[in-house]
Amino acid sequence: MGKITHVSEGTHVLKQQNTRKMEGQDFQKALDAALENKKSTPGAGEEMKIPVQSLGEITPTALFPVEPASTDIFERTNFLLDKLDSYTKELENPKKTLKDIEPLIAAIQDEAGKLLLDANGAGESDDTLKEIVNQTAIKASTEYIKFNRGDYI
């Protein structure tokens, strides 16, 4: 055996593709269709390949990181405050049991945690809004702890 040179392990051998040979009249049909600029419909079991023009390179669009806007954080904070108000009203309602109220306080705690992460982690420049979000999250966490500790039994 002779020594093979200029072959590295990174060289990949492409698999040979199976191609169907066109039989006598198939080529003539394809040529006639191309010359007349008509599309001919291949018969049953026949395959006809019509050349396609190249589309060229597609330029990618610029993607910008999505950050929560101040209005989004403001609306979510307002929604959380509304939930806290409804929680207070449900605590005052003698017809509601603590078991009925538990899903609401759990949802409030989850939303407060997400809102706090978004407001502080997004590089929000509005310090007043951050302070409101922090105070709201603290209030929500305090109520969650009081509820689970049994202060309202």
pLDDT tens sequence for the chain (153 residues): 566 666 555 555 555 555 566 566 777 887 788 888 544 445 555 555 656 666 667 777 777 666 556 778 889 999 999 999 999 999 899 998 889 999 999 999 999 999 888 887 766 567 888 888 899 999 999 999 998 888 877
**How high is the pLDDT of residue 66?**
60
Burial class (CB in 10 A: 0-12, 13-18, 19+), 119: buried
pTM: 0.52
Task: Return all residues near 101 (Cβ < 8 A) that are at least 6 apart.
Answer: 87, 90, 91, 147
Describe the crossing of helices 127-149 and 70-92 by its angle, rounded to 10 degrees: 30
Indicate the SS3 state at residue 14.
coil
Q: Strands, DSSP E only, in the chain?
A: none
